[in-house]
Amino acid sequence: MNLPLTKKNILLGVTGGIAAYKSAELVRGLIKKNAVVRVAMTESAARFVTPLTFEVLSQNRVYMDMWEGDPKEIDHVTVAGESDVFIIAPATANTIGKISHGLADNLLTNLFLAFKGPVMICPSMNSNMYLNPAVQENLQILRERNTHLMEPDFGELACGDEGIGRMPDPDNIIQALECLLKKTGELSGKKVMITAGPTREFSDPVRFLSNPSSGKMGYALAEAAVARGAEVTLISGPSQLPKPAGSQVIHTVSADEMNHAVIDHIEGMDIAIMAAAVSDYKPASCQHEKIKKNREKLSMDLELTPDILDGLGKRNNGLFLVGFAAETGDLIENMKDKMLRKNCSLMVGNLVNSSHGGFGSDNNEIVIMGRGNGQVDKLPRMTKRQAAEKIFDRIVEEIKQ
Ligand code: PMT
């Protein structure tokens, strides 16, 4: 069996935290898995564990000084180019701050900027430092750039306090790394279209019908697809979210606009995921001037918008089509009905009138229903990014069958 770490070139960045001693165990574990490990350290890390320890364990030179080494080679460029994955463990608040802002004042941070493959970061520090908004914002920047963050563990910290901030056990890091390597490139060569966010159906220049969708679910799907190597087109209704790195974003406002954008870009797509909350109805006409408040009651004629998902289902051209069902009750029955009626390959359901997640929240509690084998996965509440990963795990599984 071809194991994910066998012969993989792992670049391990070690920064100056007490957990640096665990990185020595990490190197041993990676070598046991037949990986080739090269270590880059900061000077502070070398105060906790000597470079010699890593040199002996990895059987490779340790990279620390920007100004030494073969003058014909630029270390940070060659080493970065030769590595399959870059993991920084432990990652201190200082290094996280630097790499999230593009600063490069040592060999390790230069390597981070020069490296183009998947990166995994294991933050490790005192819990007050970890929870400090500055550190959290820096981590969010990295997350949005598709860096894989492994949450620190909760427990006793070096300072004697108890809290979040411990570097996870090396075995768990290795497992996460194996998982990451398995997924990276899983969708390479695949074209994925995702819709996200709400639509706005204007009745006059200043008023519209809409819903509370933020775009978070769809944008998380786009990030997850990019991380797996897909070419991603994100068609987004109005949203405040930053563009998911590595994707092409097309901004739309109304259901009609979203429908046109989908039709214009659907050719050649392998997978389409319709996570947008598209308004079902729109005002039958849109007034050119603001409607005046000059009567007791006002009624408005509404007409159907195009059903974008239904339109794609009718094309039936080998596209793997994923629909979403936003429900307030009878989730499973409604999902099944929508999946069959709109000819979807997979349906993702969520309740939007509860505390389980849904509109606007960072979290979601989803159900995934397959058409092929009818398998229903009811998942617990998790972040939308985690939910996106679960959806892609299932898509990849179904595509393979
Ligand atoms: O954006 P967030 O704040 O993160 O919230 C996420 C979400 C709740 C919006 C998302 O998880 C979700 O459920 N999206 C689908 C919302 C929806 O419109 O569901 P629906 O059950 O009304 O529609 C079923 C499917 O048909 C959906 O895939 C929808 O995109 C599609 N549809 C609906 C109407 C229409 N005119 N055209 C469509 O394509």
| Cβ–Cβ < 8 Å for 228, 186 | yes
Whether 4 is in the pocket of ligand 1, judged by its Cβ within 6 Å, is no
Note the CATH number of domain 9-183: 3.40.50.1950
Residues 188-243: pLDDT tens digits?
Answer: 899 999 999 999 999 999 999 999 999 999 999 998 998 888 999 999 999 999 88
- Give the lowest-confidence range in 16-30, 70-84, 347-361: 70-84
* Neighbouring residues of 32: CB distance < 8 A, sequence distance ≥ 6: none
Q: Which amino acid is at 283?
A: P
Closest-CA residue, ligand 1 atom 25, reads 324
- Per-residue pLDDT at 264 exceeds 90: yes
Q: Give the position of tokens 């987004």.
A: 236
Residue 159 annotated in active site:
yes
* Among protein residues, the one whose CA lies closest to atom 35 of ligand 1: 307
| pLDDT per residue as tens digits for the range 278-289 | 999 999 999 999
**At 31, is the pLDDT very low, low, confident or very high (cuts 50, 70, 90)?**
very high
> Is 346 a pocket residue for ligand 1 (Cβ < 6 Å)?
no
Checking if the pLDDT of 245 tops 90, the result is: no
What is the per-residue pLDDT for 215?
Answer: 98
Report the chain's mean pLDDT, rounded to a whole number.
93
Mean pLDDT of 368-386: 91
Q: Give pLDDT, residue 74.
A: 62
* Percent of all residues in the chain with a pLDDT value above 90, rounded to a whole number: 80
- Residue 78: the pLDDT is 84
With the most atoms of ligand 1 within 8 angstroms of its CB, the residue from 274, 333, 338, 356 to mutate is: 274
- Where does the pLDDT of residue 70 fall: very low under 50, low under 70, confident under 90, or very high at 90 and above? low
Using DSSP's 3-state secondary structure scheme, residue 334 falls into helix
Residues 6+ apart with CB under 8 A from 237: 195, 196, 197, 198, 199, 200, 213, 215, 252, 253, 258, 276, 277, 278
Which is it for the CA torsion 312, 318, 322, 325, positive or negative? positive
Do 9-183 and 191-400 fold alike per CATH? yes
Any ligand 1 atom below 6 A from CB of 216: yes
- What pLDDT shows up at residue 57? 98
Query: Quick one: which atom of ligand 1 is closest to the CA of 196?
Result: 1
State the Cα–Cα distance between residues 198 and 225, nearest whole angstrom.
Answer: 21
Would you list the domain boundaries of the chain? 9-183, 191-400
Do 10 and 39 meet the contact criterion of CB atoms below 8 Å apart? no
- The architecture of the domain spanning 191-400 is 3-Layer(aba) Sandwich (3.40)
Question: pTM for the full model?
Answer: 0.78
Helix (H) or strand (E) holding 325: strand 320-327
CB 171 within 8 A of CB 23: no
Closest to 215 measured CA to CA, from 247, 256, 260: 247
The predicted structure's pLDDT at residue 207: 97
Q: Which residues are within 8 A (CB) of 84 and not within 5 positions of it... i.e. 6 or more apart?
A: 8, 9, 10, 117, 181
Is residue 75 predicted with pLDDT exceeding 70?
A: no
Work out the pLDDT band at 183, boundaries 50, 70, 90. Answer: confident
pLDDT of 120 > 80? The answer is yes
Phi, psi of 77 (to 5 degrees): -80, -45
Does the C-beta of 274 come closer than 6 Å to ligand 1?
yes
String of b and e for 155-187 (b: at least 16 CB within 10 Å)? eebeeeeebbbbbbebeebbebbbebbebbebb
